[in-house]
Amino acid sequence: MESIALFGGGGFIGSHLVRELLNEEYKLIVVDLSSEKIRDVLPHPKIEYLELDIRNDENDAKFKQIVDDSDLVVDLVAYANPVQYVDKPVDVVELNYHDNMKIVEDCAELDTRLIQFSTCEVYGKMGGRSDGNPVFEEDESDLIMGPIHNQRWIYATAKQLLERMVHAYGIEKGLDWSIIRPFNFVGPEMDYIITSPDEGTPRVFASFMSALMYDHTMYLVNGGTNRRSFTYIDDAVRAIKHVVENEGKQFSGEIINVGSPENEVTVEQFAHLMRDIYQDISTDGSLPEVEEISGEAFYGDGYADCERRVPDISKLERAGWEPEYDLRESLEEAMRYYIEKHEEKQIAK
């Protein structure tokens, strides 16, 4: 039975991937700081769960042994929230680059295949290629960041450097690698929900979901004019599974966009669609106010953004994958999960 180690396997993407892979003949080694999001499948005879922190150097030998015991490593470990990029940029680089490089080095030394998760943010701020094509192509699009004082880009540059080092280890040390660039996945267990704005700044879906359920303002950062392509987590996991299976080694040495280009929308349109759906499927018909706010006021000094992120998904299409969920279906599925949990809590009170 093939063994797969999932570092960060207890997070949003990892937890859904764990459930999907349990349907196959794999032994899973799941490493994370919390098992809360996979509590429904633990204990399980095909899962070994280890609560370990990659940032702790004392665990390096344990991580190396896990890599040695595995046929495939899936590395999902990252800080992935814009407020973190602004508030603690040094920590972002330490985790997203330095600590992840230890896994890359172990995989190269021990001849273990690596699927490294990156981000669509590596494409930067330009909204597509320099020739005006708005679609992000893995092997052709330039990766252009903003100026140094916009430290929002420190996350993207750390991930970009990690990608380049994975590629370099493939050339110099024979590492068998694939890199996945996610495009705005949404779904159950995506992010933490806040009951009031002073509890934190989750990503856009969770921010709007929190506002709808707990009746605080829905903030449109910089007017909500930027566009994003949202992908339902079930579609994403089906795509990732193709990369895991890697038939004919078609994804070895490849960077792969995972996204739903047809689900592109402005953040403002996204907010109003969530409001419409909330009224349709929630027993609470009230809606919060919507206000525009600057990026600096919402996230802090150093915030910046890009206009568009549209993925080219032709590599996955050639493997027989395509997204099944349109934007409304994606949001209905994701929102229903949070609404039902919220209403259950209200009844319990």
Q: What angle do CA 46, 49, 54 make, to 5 degrees?
A: 135
Closest CA to 244 of 100, 111, 72: 72
> Exposed e or buried b for every residue in 14-53, given b needs 16+ CB within 10 A?
bbbbbebbeeeebbbbbbbeebebbeebeeeeebbbbebe
Model confidence at 345, pLDDT cuts 50, 70, 90, reads confident
pLDDT at 326 over 70: yes
pLDDT at 129 over 60: no
Model pLDDT, residue 212:
96
Pairing mode, if any, of strands 2-7 and 72-75?
parallel
Q: What angle do CA 299, 141, 225 make, to 5 degrees?
A: 35
Arithmetic mean of pLDDT, 269-276: 98
Return d(Cα 9, Cα 13) in angstroms, integer. 8
Share of the chain above pLDDT 70, in %: 97
Model confidence at 132, pLDDT cuts 50, 70, 90, reads low
Which tens digit of pLDDT belongs to each residue from 211-224?
999 999 999 999 99
Q: What are the structural domains, with CATH classification, of the chain?
A: 78-184+232-259+309-324 (3.40.50.720)
Residue-averaged pLDDT of the chain = 93
Which tens digit of pLDDT belongs to each residue from 60-115?
999 999 999 999 999 999 998 888 888 899 999 999 999 999 999 999 999 999 99
Model pLDDT, residue 266:
97
Active-site residue numbers?
155
Q: What are phi and psi of 177, to 5 degrees?
A: -130, 155
Model pLDDT, residue 130:
59
Pairing mode, if any, of strands 47-51 and 26-32?
parallel
Model pLDDT, residue 128:
52
- Count CB-CB contacts under 10 A for residue 332: 18
Contact 252, 176 (CB under 8 A): yes
Model pLDDT, residue 14:
97
Which tens digit of pLDDT belongs to each residue from 186-202?
999 987 888 888 887 88
Radius of gyration, CA atoms only, the chain:
20
Model confidence at 349, pLDDT cuts 50, 70, 90, reads low
Residue ranges with strand state E in the chain: 2-7, 26-32, 47-51, 72-75, 113-117, 135-136, 177-182, 185-186, 218-221, 227-229, 231-232, 254-258, 264-266, 290-293, 310-311
Model pLDDT, residue 92:
95
Q: What are phi and psi of 334, to 5 degrees?
A: -65, -45
Return d(Cα 88, Cα 151) in angstroms, integer. 10
Share of the chain above pLDDT 90, in %: 80
